């Protein structure tokens, strides 16, 4: 290539810093934007009234009794957050090997959904379908001779989903990773008259070390002990397998897909986004939240700025929306024009 042509193709005529020279120009050329519409708030609920107990490993996050959860969800709605996801922290007494409480139509989650539906409108309620908050062993499925049973677990998940839908849940979000559960859940919901209830599948959920604080929040850490979830959650060495998981769940009727965890898995999010044309959500999980909070509290990071950057990274990688425990704080910041 002749020197003059090479020069024509680049510097000094081309200077990428020109578009970055001022705030207004950076705003003008920004490729992605974060808004409250992108955020989903996960919430922990607990028994009782006017009760709020802190989750030690997640500063700023609390287990809320139903009345306080309703208030929080109202606040989320006022800030423009389109949906919340609720997780139960139930009494140890109510946990057993079969997760009986998961299919009790009056359980904490059903009570919460009913209470929210009575007093807040126009916000989506996402309920978790998995057995771990209800089992005495902390696994997401039934256990027999040390093995996690697939098809027997799926049957219970179907009952769990139907009672949640009956209580008023808008989106059923199975986080259990059993095979074939999306098709079975769709059939069960349809048979019970809930054709309009959406399914958001945790399609690619990895056996991750970043879930620790969540397990503490729902009280399953001790129950799980030294056991792991590697026979059903995905191996973090794999990514082609994630595409197979997603393809199957779409074929079985999932309306939306979730990739989890978040930041360490942006490559998976990107590949799924490029391959399939369905809404793809991502989950900034408890361990990711805890890391930013911990560094922030030590003064090693600017907490707000780090959350903003991390959430923008999800957008850049193609997320339709993001579950984040920081949703309320971020929505408030965005309203102020961050």
CA angle 102, 58, 62 (to 5 degrees): 55
Q: DSSP letter at 262?
A: S
- Taking the complex as a whole, how short is the minimal distance between the CB of residue 213 and ligand PBG, in angstroms? 7
The yes-or-no answer on residue 106 being catalytic is no
CB closer to ligand PBG out of 16 and 179: 179
Q: List the end-to-end C-alpha distance of the chain, in Å, as a whole number.
A: 46
Greatest Cα pair distance in the chain: 79
Positions in the binding site for ligand PBG (CB under 6 A): 128, 130, 132, 140, 175-176, 211, 214-215, 229, 285-286
- Taking the complex as a whole, how short is the minimal distance between the CB of residue 285 and ligand PBG, in angstroms? 4
CB closer to ligand PBG out of 167 and 261: 261
- Taking the complex as a whole, how short is the minimal distance between the CB of residue 128 and ligand PBG, in angstroms? 6
Q: Helix, strand or coil for residue 239?
A: coil
- Taking the complex as a whole, how short is the minimal distance between the CB of residue 139 and ligand PBG, in angstroms? 9
- Taking the complex as a whole, how short is the minimal distance between the CB of residue 27 and ligand PBG, in angstroms? 32
The yes-or-no answer on residue 74 being catalytic is no
- Residue in 72, 205, 229, 315 annotated catalytic: 205
CB closer to ligand PBG out of 140 and 245: 140
In this structure, what is the dihedral angle of CA atoms 219, 221, 224, 229, given to the nearest 10 degrees?
Answer: 110
Rounded to an integer, what distance in angstroms lies between the CA atom of residue 298 and that of residue 61? 18
Residue nearest ligand PBG (C-beta atom): 214
CB closer to ligand PBG out of 229 and 273: 229
- Residue in 72, 77, 229, 260 annotated catalytic: 260
CB closer to ligand PBG out of 132 and 245: 132
For the chain, state the CA radius of gyration: 21
Compute the Cα dihedral for 179, 185, 188, 190 and give only its sign: negative
Q: DSSP letter at 8?
A: H
| Cβ 300 vs Cβ 337: under 8 Å | no
| Cβ 123 vs Cβ 77: under 8 Å | yes
Active site residues: 205, 260
């Amino acid at each position: 290539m002749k020197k003059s042509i090479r020069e024509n193709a680049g510097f000094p005529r081309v200077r990428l810093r020109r578009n970055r020279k001022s705030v207004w120009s950076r705003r003008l050329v920004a490729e992605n934007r974060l808004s409250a519409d992108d955020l989903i708030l996960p919430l922990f609920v607990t028994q009782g009234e006017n009760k709020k107990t802190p989750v030690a490993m997640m500063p700023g996050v609390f287990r809320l009794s139903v009345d306080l959860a309703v208030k929080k969800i109202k606040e989320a709605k006022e800030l423009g957050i389109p949906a919340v996801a609720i997780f139960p922290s139930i009494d140890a007494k109510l946990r057993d090997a079969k997760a009986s409480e998961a299919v009790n139509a009056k359980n904490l989650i059903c009570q919460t959904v009913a209470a929210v539906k009575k007093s807040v409108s126009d916000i989506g309620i996402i309920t978790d379908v998995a057995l771990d908050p209800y089992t005495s062993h902390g696994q997401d499925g039934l256990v027999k001779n040390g093995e996690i049973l697939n098809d027997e677990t799926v049957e219970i998940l179907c009952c769990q989903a139907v009672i949640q839908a009956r209580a008023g849940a808008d989106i059923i979000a199975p986080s259990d990773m059993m095979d074939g559960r999306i098709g079975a859940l769709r059939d069960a919901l349809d048979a019970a008259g809930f054709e309009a209830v959406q399914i958001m599948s945790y399609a690619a959920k990895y056996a991750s070390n970043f879930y620790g604080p969540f397990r503490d929040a729902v009280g399953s850490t001790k129950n799980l002990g030294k056991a792991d979830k590697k026979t059903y959650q995905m191996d973090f060495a794999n990514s082609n397998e994630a595409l197979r998981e997603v393809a199957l769940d779409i074929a079985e009727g999932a309306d939306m897909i979730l990739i989890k965890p978040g930041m360490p898995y942006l490559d998976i999010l990107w590949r799924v986004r490029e391959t399939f044309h369905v809404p793809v959500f991502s989950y900034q999980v408890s361990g990711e939240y805890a890391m930013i909070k911990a560094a922030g509290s030590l003064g090693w990071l600017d907490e707000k700025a780090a959350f903003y950057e991390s959430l923008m990274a999800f957008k850049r990688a193609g997320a339709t929306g993001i579950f984040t425990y920081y949703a309320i704080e971020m929505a408030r910041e965005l309203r102020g024009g961050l």
